[in-house]
Amino acid sequence: MRGLTVVLPTYNERENIERIVESILDQPLDLSVLIVDDNSPDGTGEIADRLAAADDRIEVLHRQGKEGLGTAYRAGFCYALERGAQYCFEIDADFSHNPDDLPRLYEAARGADAAVGSRYVKGGGAPDWSFLRWLISRGGNLYTKIVARTRTVDTTSGFRCYSRRVLESIPLDRVTSQGYAFQIEMTFVAETLGFRIVEVPIIFVDRKGGESKMNSAIFWEGLRVVWGLRRKYGDLRRG
């Protein structure tokens, strides 16, 4: 794999997988794409294999079933690091994150330790959202900031770039959350270890195809996980 690896979890993304991979590889960076597919019943994994066979910048990691976003990223990070990745990106497969923003994330991470694509800093936003959806998301981030005392504004963002030194320092086997709670937990641990996270403004849009994976269980997990973070990682030194 190349030094810059985009980890792309997929589950039933046949409508998007070819276009999102093409858009990622069109960026002016020397990127590779690691597709982590959870045995998608719609054939996403088979499409991913075909893409990988045609382009050596693409690899596929197949898993037995739907095991959750957090474990997909953990598996993807470990796979990429073992193969020499120096920076790992997170991005959704549904075009809610714009691949054109990948170079900005990379440049920001190079000047710090990690970068987060933020909807809640100046220049960012989510114009397709209803006021209720915005309120729930914004409220969840404020709740995290107050309870977990995080410095990052958009802790639930799934558009990120981590340097190798961050991922090697984080005890990934202890990061057990799924859904957007995984992003919260990773943010908290990185900050606790003293790493500098820079927020890059992004515009988040609704998915272009397929079905959303958000559900009430993911929402409630986020609320529950936040309360236990300071106790769970009390042995790590806060930066």
Give me the residues paired with residue 9 across strands.
36
CA distance linking residue 89 with residue 167, whole number of Å: 11
Q: Are 116 and 198 in contact (CB under 8 A)?
A: yes
Contacts of residue 40, Cβ cutoff 8 Å, sequence gap at least 6: 10, 11, 12, 13, 14
| pLDDT value at residue 115 | 98
Instruction: Give me the CATH topology for the region 4-232.
Output: Spore Coat Polysaccharide Biosynthesis Protein SpsA; Chain A (3.90.550)
Residue type (1 letter), 220 = W
Enumerate helices (H) and strands (E) in the chain, giving the number of each. Answer: 8, 7
- Cα torsion 38, 39, 44, 45 to 10°: value is 100
Phi, psi of 8 (to 5 degrees): -125, 90
Q: Where are the domains of the chain?
A: 4-232
Q: What is the CA radius of gyration of the chain?
A: 17
Helix (H, G, I), strand (E, B) or coil at 87: strand
CA distance linking residue 189 with residue 234, whole number of Å: 10
> Can you give the pLDDT of all 239 residues of the chain as single tens digits?
679 999 999 999 999 999 999 999 999 999 999 999 999 999 999 999 999 999 999 999 999 988 889 999 999 999 999 999 999 999 999 999 999 999 999 999 999 999 999 999 999 999 999 999 888 888 889 989 999 999 999 999 999 999 999 999 999 999 999 878 999 999 999 999 999 999 999 999 986 654 555 555 655 565 678 888 999 998 987 65
Helix (H, G, I), strand (E, B) or coil at 91: coil
